[in-house]
Structure 1
Amino acid sequence: MFEANPQWLAEVKEKLEEAGFKVKMEESFGEHHSVVVEEPIPQLVPGQEHRIWLDDTGYLRIVVNFVTPEWESAQEPEEFERALEEIEKVHIYNLSMFFTCLYSSGENVIEDAEFEDMIEYSIDIYFGFVPPEEIVEVMESLRKETQYEVQKMQQESKGISSP
């Protein structure tokens, strides 16, 4: 079990707020606390929910849950297969592009995708107690990368090629 450092987490929360992020502190798992970053991840499919949070042991976790109408209405195995292929092609591919900046940080990144009733895509990164400014840099990079990818997708959907 990792040692908790609530003072470090409070400093990270303060720095994120100074950088313009909407954040809130919440208690999780009894004695541990988390900062939830209310930064939007694009709504690429209906029924998508996401959560970004950093806990007081230095773990950043990003989880996206989603269900498409095609997935919910599928009855036959081939319908499930087709819906899953579409989800993988559009959604998971795009989300993984948003998070490439996290891989370049050289941190311990764990990526996972589960396919059951609801599809969950998650990334865990262990930063440890790095200076709060480093967490802000990662979140700013994620925000910038996300905005770029959304603009690119919007241009492509309008038939405009990106530079």
Structure 2
Amino acid sequence: MTELVSQFRSYIQESGTAIFSDDRIQQLLDSNSTYLYQAPLQVIPQRYNGSLIYKEYASEHSWLEGTATTTNKLYNTNGTVVTNYTSDFINGKFTFASDTRGTAYYMDARSFNFFKAVSEGWKEKAAYYATQFDFSVEGRSFSKSQIVKSCNEMAKQYSSMSSVVMHSIERGDMC
């Protein structure tokens, strides 16, 4: 989660804790997360010396939590947890140390709708600055409303980059 918090701070242009504590950032991320169970990984074959090798795998999900060993795991079709890989949790990529021969792997993890969380962060930042006001002193003017406008524009920008969320609903009264 530390990497996600750091990335979040970068995207909302805040290096300190003036507006967002780490706990608040985690709350925003948690409210925009999805738990994935038995999510299949796509094998990406590569040519090496005239043959195919299978070391690279990709998830259709990105912005994965990288440090939660209790929720994140990769396993094969027998359910055996594997650990001989390196990961790029931001992009949902996994690289095994040796050729897996195309073995099917699955993942349990938590994925974040990161850009939606960032959009909500920008909205909170706009609300923070909206409590301040424009003023002029000795011929100089200070315009906080420009900051609010900019924050709202950034919120709109990141909202347009967020993932679409779909849910399946089953009626219990239908056969």
If the length of structure 2 is used for normalisation, what is the TM-score?
Answer: 0.26
Q: Which has the higher helix share?
A: 1
Bigger Rg, structure 1 or 2: 2
